[in-house]
Amino acid sequence: MKNKLTLLFVLLGYLLLPMSMSGTTGALPQIGTALNASGGALQWVVTGYFLTASSFMLVAGSTGDLLGRRRIYRFGAATFAVGSLVAALTPSILVLDAARTVTGVGAAGVMAGGGAILATTFSGAERTRAFAAMGTTAGVGLAIGPTLAGWLVGALGWRATFGVFAAGGILLLAGTFAMTESRAAQRPRADRLGAVTFIGGLAAAMFAITQSSRAGWTSPLVLGLLAAGAGLLIAFALVERRSAHPVLDLSLLRNRQFVGWVLAGVVMVLGFGGVTSFLPTYLQGANGLSARDSGLVMLMSTAPMLVLPLLGGRLVNRGASPRLLIVTGLLLISAGNAWLTSLHQGIGAWQLLGPLLTTGIGVGLASGLIDAQAMNQVDQSRAGMAAGLLNTVRGGSQTLVLALFGSVLISLLTGRIGAERAGQVATGKLAGPGHDVLAGHLTESWQILLWAIAALTALGAVAVAALLSPSRTPCPQRAPAVPAAA
């Protein structure tokens, strides 16, 4: 019973926390009006949460290995609840920005701690089922999270919505009393220098990526942040090599199987992240669909995620090859992107069903396998570190994919219609004279980008297959026979 309650509250965290980000995105216009805010200060309500959540994942996971995974989860839930409550009561945009930044730190504790708790609570077939349930929960959040969060903002207002998230954080905090504490056998001193250089380096790099669409990749701000991030991350690697108890044990990256599963997560985000975020704007701009109708179309790709993660876990427990399943899933994502190049102005929903469903099936298979199989490559003393690294890589990949998708799309359009209109057309703003011509250019740019994603995803699948291949050890030579003594 205790294990079931643990699973329930961990899954609730994986459902609630992503909604806190997607729901806030939809609330920005209301927040801007209420607090007289705009521009960077308003955008930081989302950016601050995302940056701290992603940057603190690895540190939170590694700290959980030392101090206790439940303790880190409990700290994260409490921080998330307090930050959301302050956001609900905020008198100004500056207080809201600070509260959301702190809330992101809490989210990192819940996400990294939750994955580590599942890895240490369950084993064998039960662990596979638990992580498959986590993949299903993430699919539910992806499918209905933005819609449900948007409904909360529309029905209750943005302050009450933050209040709902605060109540959810309190519920997660209460759930920690049903969990069993676990930690590494030894409790060495924390690697503070490693933590500081990693958080600073990753935050600088990710902030540069988020600013690239506004300032441009060649702007002094973006280049300076990228240089600072690269320098700090190099310093982090040097620190970790000399640390007796590092935040990230670099020997993890010498584990070919573990790296293969981490790469599978990156390839999955590459093949799905950008299309999910940008295709609704294409459908609204080129095809004239409403926001509601374009959201319903996207359910074609997210619906398989409600079932397939559990199915993938069940197949593994019945003896199916995880390597075969993950490579199949990634190749389906590649095929879905290639099929989606049939995109054209006026395309009907039924014509989108095939490519979107194919992509969704691939993501559903992959999302139910990656975490469980990656954690199987790591001993329990480093479960928090591994869970934090997985979440960090996924979050960073999502940020990079979104920035690159938008940047490449705008670059392709700039060569056709000029820089002045490219940004507007890329976001679906095609109203006015020449709508059909602009829609044609947008479609051609989308097709080029989709072919590139399909090719990169297929190459990624091949690389994952190579990394996950069984290690070949030479057969020992048989010793020559010794004649029996007379």
Domain-embedded: residue 204:
yes
Q: Rounded to an integer, what distance in angstroms lies between the CA atom of residue 87 and that of residue 21?
A: 13
The whole-chain average pLDDT of the chain stands at: 85
Q: Rounded to an integer, what distance in angstroms lies between the CA atom of residue 97 and that of residue 111?
A: 21
Q: Which residue has the higher pLDDT, 144 or 123?
A: 123
Q: Rounded to an integer, what distance in angstroms lies between the CA atom of residue 188 and that of residue 424?
A: 54
Confidence of residue 427 (pLDDT cuts 50, 70, 90): confident
Residue 315 sits in the same domain as residue 385: yes
Domain-embedded: residue 484:
no
Read off the DSSP letter of residue 247: S
Q: Which residue has the higher pLDDT, 350 or 188?
A: 350
Confidence of residue 286 (pLDDT cuts 50, 70, 90): confident
Q: Rounded to an integer, what distance in angstroms lies between the CA atom of residue 106 and that of residue 394?
A: 18
Q: Read off the pLDDT of residues 77-128 as tens digits, 9 standing for 90 and up.
A: 999 999 999 999 999 999 999 999 999 999 999 988 888 898 888 888 888 8
- Looking at residue 482, its pLDDT comes to 42
Read off the DSSP letter of residue 88: H
| DSSP string over 241-309 | HH-SS-SS-GGGGG-HHHHHHHHHHHHHHHHHHHHHHHHHHHHHHHS---HHHHHHHHHHHHGGGGTHH
Domain-embedded: residue 115:
yes
User: Which of 185, 202, 224 is at the close of a domain?
Assistant: 185
Say yes or no to pLDDT of 449 above 70: yes
Domain-embedded: residue 395:
yes
Residue 163 sits in the same domain as residue 223: no
Confidence of residue 486 (pLDDT cuts 50, 70, 90): very low
Residue 142 sits in the same domain as residue 31: yes
Lowest mean pLDDT among 85-94, 312-321, 448-457, 464-473: 464-473
Q: Note if the pTM is more than 0.85.
A: no
Structure tokens at 481: 């026979």
Residue 217 sits in the same domain as residue 283: no
Read off the DSSP letter of residue 475: P
Q: Can you tell me which residue has the tokens 């479960």?
A: 383
User: Which of 185, 215, 234 is at the close of a domain?
Assistant: 185
- Looking at residue 305, its pLDDT comes to 82
User: Residue 393 corresponds to which amino acid?
Assistant: V
Residue 279 sits in the same domain as residue 235: no
- Looking at residue 186, its pLDDT comes to 65
Structure tokens at 260: 């293969």
The answer to whether the CB of 111 falls within 8 A of the CB of 47 is no
The answer to whether the CB of 108 falls within 8 A of the CB of 60 is yes
- Looking at residue 450, its pLDDT comes to 95
The answer to whether the CB of 131 falls within 8 A of the CB of 371 is yes
What percent of the chain is modeled with pLDDT above 70?
92
Residue 356 sits in the same domain as residue 434: yes
- Give the best-scoring range by mean pLDDT among 4-8, 328-332, 369-373: 328-332
Domain-embedded: residue 480:
no
The answer to whether the CB of 56 falls within 8 A of the CB of 104 is yes
Residue 434 sits in the same domain as residue 319: yes
- Looking at residue 146, its pLDDT comes to 65
Q: Which residue has the higher pLDDT, 172 or 348?
A: 172
Residue 90 sits in the same domain as residue 207: no
Q: Rounded to an integer, what distance in angstroms lies between the CA atom of residue 477 and that of residue 243?
A: 40
User: Which of 244, 266, 289 is at the close of a domain?
Assistant: 244
The answer to whether the CB of 261 falls within 8 A of the CB of 392 is no
Residue 338 sits in the same domain as residue 463: yes
Radius of gyration of the chain from its Cα atoms, rounded to whole angstroms: 23
Q: What b/e sequence results for 253-274 when a residue is b if at least 16 CB atoms lie within 10 Å of its CB, and e otherwise?
A: eebebbbbbbbbbbbbbbbbbb
Lowest mean pLDDT among 201-210, 286-295, 341-350, 372-381: 286-295
The answer to whether the CB of 145 falls within 8 A of the CB of 136 is no
Q: Rounded to an integer, what distance in angstroms lies between the CA atom of residue 165 and that of residue 342?
A: 41
Domain-embedded: residue 475:
no
Q: Angle at Cα 273 formed by Cα 322 and Cα 40, nearest 5°?
A: 145
Q: In which domain, by residue range, is 300 found?
A: 251-469
CATH number for the domain that contains residue 153: 1.20.1250.20
Residue 172 sits in the same domain as residue 235: no
At 476, give phi and psi (nearest 5°).
Answer: -65, 140
Residue 273 sits in the same domain as residue 214: no
Say yes or no to pLDDT of 309 above 80: yes
Q: Can you tell me which residue has the tokens 């996400």?
A: 111
- Looking at residue 173, its pLDDT comes to 94
Say yes or no to pLDDT of 481 above 50: no
Domain-embedded: residue 479:
no
- Looking at residue 23, its pLDDT comes to 67
At 343, give phi and psi (nearest 5°).
Answer: -55, 135
Residue 12 sits in the same domain as residue 138: yes
Q: Which residue has the higher pLDDT, 182 or 336?
A: 336
What percent of the chain is modeled with pLDDT above 90?
32
- Looking at residue 312, its pLDDT comes to 87
Confidence of residue 383 (pLDDT cuts 50, 70, 90): confident
The answer to whether the CB of 406 falls within 8 A of the CB of 279 is no
Helix (H) / strand (E) containing 358: helix 349-367
Confidence of residue 463 (pLDDT cuts 50, 70, 90): very high
The count of structural domains within the chain is 3
Instruction: Evaluate the CA torsion angle 196, 202, 207, 208 in order and state its sign.
Output: positive
Q: Which residue has the higher pLDDT, 27 or 431?
A: 27
Mean predicted confidence (pLDDT) in 240-254: 82
Task: State the helix-helix crossing angle for 349-367 and 322-339, rounded to 10 degrees.
Answer: 160
Mean predicted confidence (pLDDT) in 262-268: 94
Say yes or no to pLDDT of 484 above 60: no
Domain-embedded: residue 101:
yes
